[in-house]
Amino acid sequence: MAFNLPLIGPISALSIFGLTIGATIIYILLNALYNTFLHPLRRYPGPPLWSTTAIPYTLANIKGELPFRVLAFHRKYGPVIRIRPNELSFTDPEAWDDIYGLHSGRRQNPKDASAYTPPMPGVERGIVLANDAVHGKLRRIYGPAFTPRAVEEQSGMVMKYANLLIEQLKRAVEKEAVQDMSAWYNFTTFDLTGEFAFGEAFHCLENGGQYHFFLTTVFNGVVTGLRMMQFERYGLLTALKPFIPKSAMKPKEDMDQYCKELVDRRLERGYDPSTNDVFNYLLQNKDPEDQLALDDLYENAIALVVAGSETTATLLTGTTYFLCRHPETLKKVQREVRTAFKSDEDITVKVVNDLPYMIAVLCEALRIFPPSGFGFPRFISAEKGQMVAGHYLPLKTVASISHHAAYRYERNFARPDEFIPERWLPEAPAEFANDKRGVLQPFMVGPRGCLGKNLAYAEMRLLLAKMLWHFDFELADPADEWYEGLKAFMLWEKDLLKVRLTPVER
């Protein structure tokens, strides 16, 4: 016995290990065979390896390349393609409502949670991933803070940050003409979203254009969260957690922690009749049904900051870049803004809605550089399956529309890789007559569409109009191809955008 034990021990362990590996390989092979020859989606075109296993999709997602790969596949295989064994990607405008809309006789198609940053542990009432009943309630609770009227009431606050951006940027330009516009837009939208949500800015602008640690934390936290969820796709997150280095989890933990502090501080201040921030709406609502637990307030605070700041800043950075790369378009939009007003004071949240060419520029920026570039995957929930853009999808199939792919696809837009705002004008040149404008849905459609759309429009229009009125701008390095090589997760990983600014003398 004493002789045998050490021998049997290692042999048994080795055998078990070998058996496990063997069984895993057999499982993967059988699964691949099933996905290729028997799966209900087997007849849909797509890259063969991606239809066989989800691994290439997951790797592309982790590397921030998924939207680019999906576009390349649409260009090769057509408008409806298989990008994971169980997922179809669409590009037709009608697919928006079919996948994301609300239809009588069936419930909403639920989100694929593995595409999102995980919520704080134990939280089920975060607006982004809540179930339908809780989500409906959250939209009712948060909705009043986002109506067109509520946003109009906040126009003074939007104006305050637009003016602060211009004032601080002018000061900075006196010292150094070349500025990183990606950072300045981030400072502005974070400050603004902080005040909009909690009545407390991050003071990036007031401090002369300085990063608050929370800005980088938010982006890193979201990307870490997304990468973590890629493991969860295979049910591995819990098993692997002990092996993930603490430093890798830190950005997400820091983001959660700081949001808690923000919420705690705001709750301490309580209801404040002098402000209109989102928390005031929550604190004003005394209906016992509508009271949220502290953890839910924390989680939703993160959702607001992430959804509200990175997105708008990304759009403005992209708009500035594409305008710099197209000096004729830049001149045209400058002319529109500079002739529409007599003075800076005339530029208000309301009147910037009457600048058709500038609005066309922003539409084109949303098309060519949508702040959320990837496709938000949804599970088909109808027991008997449903039709999406004329195709039958069985229950539990995943369906998505990749913003980047649908907006750059030649069957939807003529000259899709070119920045041509004219395509959005009522008198668009004939070559754009067949553009499928309805496919552009950067804020999504249906009950889970963007809650902050009204605020986003007010911000982007006012900030861009003010920038165009006050500054001439060009790329510091005219050959800078800022866009090339960016990574696209749910948000874009932006590089510095170095722009030479010259204040306009009047």
**Which residues contact ligand HEM by CB under 6 A?**
127-128, 139, 193, 196, 303-304, 307-308, 311-312, 315, 371-372, 376, 442-444, 448, 450-452, 455-456
CB of 217 to ligand HEM, least distance (A): 18
DSSP state of 303: H
CB of 341 to ligand HEM, least distance (A): 24
495 phi/psi in degrees, rounded to 5:
-95, 170
CB of 506 to ligand HEM, least distance (A): 30
* Measured distance CA(279)–CA(272) in Å, rounded: 9
CB of 499 to ligand HEM, least distance (A): 20
CB of 278 to ligand HEM, least distance (A): 8
List, in order, residues 6 or more apart from 445 with CB less than 8 Å away: 96, 97, 100, 101
**Closer to ligand HEM at the Cβ: 185 or 258?**
185
By the 8 A CB rule, do 497 and 317 touch?
Answer: yes
Instruction: Find the Cα–Cα–Cα–Cα dihedral 68, 72, 77, 79, rounded to 10°.
Output: 50
Element (H, E) at 11: helix 4-37
Helices (H), 38-180: 48-52, 55-63, 66-77, 94-100, 132-142, 148-153, 155-175
* Measured distance CA(188)–CA(2) in Å, rounded: 73
**Closer to ligand HEM at the Cβ: 137 or 250?**
137
**Closer to ligand HEM at the Cβ: 326 or 367?**
367
CB of 10 to ligand HEM, least distance (A): 50
* Measured distance CA(492)–CA(147) in Å, rounded: 27
CB of 142 to ligand HEM, least distance (A): 7
**Closer to ligand HEM at the Cβ: 139 or 338?**
139
**Closer to ligand HEM at the Cβ: 334 or 372?**
372
* Measured distance CA(356)–CA(426) in Å, rounded: 9
Question: Quick one: tokens of 416?
Answer: 């899709």
CB of 28 to ligand HEM, least distance (A): 31
* Measured distance CA(111)–CA(377) in Å, rounded: 6
**Looking at 301-382, which runs of residues are DSSP E strands?**
378-379
Angle at 287 between CA 285 and CA 291, to 5 degrees: 75
**Closer to ligand HEM at the Cβ: 179 or 372?**
372
**Closer to ligand HEM at the Cβ: 139 or 332?**
139
**Closer to ligand HEM at the Cβ: 80 or 127?**
127
* Measured distance CA(109)–CA(398) in Å, rounded: 9
List, in sequence order, every residue forming a beta bridge with 179; answer none if it has no partner: 499
Residue with smallest beta-carbon separation from ligand HEM:
452
**Closer to ligand HEM at the Cβ: 51 or 108?**
108
* Measured distance CA(59)–CA(64) in Å, rounded: 9
The number of angstroms, rounded, from the C-alpha of 14 to the middle of its chain's C-alpha atoms is: 47
CB of 449 to ligand HEM, least distance (A): 6
